[in-house]
Structure 1
């Protein structure tokens, strides 16, 4: 795509999605245009559209901002197309979505409260080229894979490790062919048609075993049901594996991994898989949480580190002490392990330097990812060395 067109798109997006209200308005206009023209398409979506709309705008922002990295964006859109197979989306649906997107953008630019730029023929041409690129890449991606769109799994274990956090283990037949570091869409029987993304915390294996770490989100629909209502024997449905977190073994660069809360899952799966290799780059894994008790899987990571000298695990908590309601003892690191550091995890990691010679992965909540990237960039870290999944 021409650099002039990319710059025009980026300026346009900055104007129409410059705050949360305008992003919500943009997604509302898109779905209104789509369902007005194709009312039957509404059945493809969940009853509650708030999270769906948020993911739509997040995906558009990610694609527009990273358009110069064509290989990365094509991979992302291809995976997104594969993911949409779970809804039964076909090529005609993508064409309709492209038309609705152009209408939503044009409407936003025509609303003085949400636009700093006038709608021009050049802008219309740029968005037309962009939407054609997006929908054609997603449609081709969806049609390129012959593996199942949906996978079934049976819950074999449900463990409450904290009051608001559970570890769920499942078995699938056949095994889901995911890569360590990827994530899958999950639908649970307690909340039908409500999909959420979770990353397996163990590498893929021939027995079809999966492990998910799920924290209850206040006010959420799906995560509280998983933490409090899941039973052994429940049948879950999962979609095509997605995501781009992976270690590039073709380069000699060492690795920096930064995970917070249950965001450690895709990083944990990768170091577990790496422990089966004969040779690995050095890995510094920073594990964060608000309180020391939030470092719930630290003992497992310490055990991996003790038998794999290439792995250094650094625990970080924002608060020095556990809250008053937590009665468990504080974990003491084994001999030779790094002691726990205190502070926001991004600032703590940035204090060690720029990490400019590393492959960098960040996984956690959107706010954690954003503040960590900001801290690293302020310390001199090149942005093109930082990987994170935009939708997970």
Structure 2
């Protein structure tokens, strides 16, 4: 099977300027022609349209990277299992996607583009189906988690501990997608705030987002004993990406969660790295996890914690987490892990590069909190 990358990219350029309309057309056609598929999707489709476009862009931009693309598609397929995706769904998606692109190309679409896209899509479907089948032989599509504790730490942040019904095979620094019974078929990503433990418990730091369906349900309508659904672990913000013995961790708000998990894991590493953790919050009252961090510092012994406050007038000095590097005259010589909102990660990365930190020493995970994230087609 030979994929014509040139035709794929040129034909994509014809419709990319109207990609939002294309996604709406695609889902409208898919649900009209295959109404039974609609029940797999959430009530509101805005975020879903964005995820489709992110996934298409990832595929189009990475067609030459056979191994990388296969890894991406494999992860996508394993995550698809929680939606109930089956092999027979793939032809419906492929035909509707090509039809939507043909429609929005406004007469510029050629039959050769149909062939190129269907060849590429058949490859995508084959890789994903095989990955899903291999995964099904080892793990369930979802885990049922029982909430064992629910601690409201601030008016906006809760720490929720969940016991999965089966062993949950994750690595420190990864995240899970959660579904509340209050919003069926609506999944949101939350970093796991602990390293793997013998008791199999998972801790999540949940910040309530204004208008956020899942975050509001988790913050205000979830109690010990309630059940949550967990999708498979995802993400690559793991400790072995580092190659130096001195690490700098920069967290914004609940971006602390995966970095806390990495610190917890590093306690048991034979050559324990020295870690400087800079945790930025807007107000002093937003520092929701100080007690746990102090316990970690006592265990780790090579951990320094710097708390920064950015929006409190009486606070001196007043700065964000990356400002604190300058304030404390720290020039990162090793690896830097950054986690927070999309904007926080973008600004922090730019500042680090300006300080002379090489791009390959800056480790980020753009999910949860921003694009691009693996999304279902």
Q: In the alignment, which residue of structure 1 is the partner of 2:155?
A: 163
Give the secondary-structure state (helix, strand or coil) at the position aligned to 2:150: strand
User: Quick one: structure 1 residues 250 and 243, their matched pair in 2 at CA, closer, same or farther if it must change by over 3 Å?
Assistant: closer
Please give the per-residue CA displacement for 1:97-130, whole angstroms capped at 9, x wherever unaligned: 233333333444439xxxxxx5467765664454
- Are 1:37 and 2:33 counterparts? yes
Q: 53, 57, 65: which one pairs with 2:53?
A: 57
Deviation at 1:272, TM superposition (A): 0.6
Matched, 1:301 2:277: no
* Paired residue secondary structure (2:308): strand
Q: Which residue of 1 aligns with 2:346?
A: 370
- What is the CA distance between 1:81 and its match in structure 2? 0.9
Q: Which residue of 2 aligns with 1:326?
A: none
C-alpha separation in 2, matches of 1:317 and 1:369: 17
Q: So what's the TM-score if we normalise by structure 1? A: 0.79
Aligned equivalent of 1:237, options 229, 253, 257: 229
TM-score by length of 2: 0.82
Q: For 1:1-392, list aligned pairs within 5 A.
A: 5=5, 9=9, 16-17=15-16, 22-65=18-61, 70-110=66-106, 119=109, 127-128=117-118, 130-145=120-135, 146=137, 147-248=139-240, 251-252=243-244, 254-321=246-313, 342-345=318-321, 355=332, 358-392=334-368
Separation of aligned partners in 2, 1:265 and 1:346 = 18
Corresponding residue SS for 2:88: helix
Q: Deviations over 1:8-43 (max 9, x none)?
A: 73x77677556xxx5532321231232233221111
- Cα distance in 2 between the residues matched to 1:237 and 1:142: 19
Mark the runs of 5 or more structure 2 residues left unpaired by the alignment: 369-377
Cα deviation digits, residues 278-318 of structure 1 (max 9, x gap): 21334333322222332322342243234424433333333
Separation in 2 of the partners of 1:243 and 1:293? 30
Q: Residue 139 of structure 1: CA displacement?
A: 2.1
Q: State the 1:58 CA deviation.
A: 2.8
**Inter-partner Cα distance in structure 2 for 1:69 and 1:349:** 36
Displacement after TM superposition at 1:208 (Å):
2.3
Find the residue that maps to 2:92 and give its secondary structure. helix
Q: 1:250 to 1:347 in 2, by over 3 A?
A: closer
Could you tell me how far apart the structure 1 residues matched to 2:13 and 2:290 are?
Answer: 40
SS of the equivalent of 1:162 reads coil
1:340-389 CA deviation, whole Å, 9 max, x = no partner? 9644545666897885x644433222333333334444555444544433
> Gapped runs of 5+ residues in structure 1?
112-117, 323-329, 331-339
After superposition, the CA RMSD in angstroms is: 3.5
Aligned to 1:337: none
**Contact 2:3/2:116, CA 8 A, preserved across alignment:** no
Moved more, 232-241 or 87-96: 87-96
Q: Secondary structure at the match of 2:205?
A: strand
CA distance, structure 2, for counterparts of residue 284 and residue 120 of structure 1: 56
Shift of 1:244: 1.4
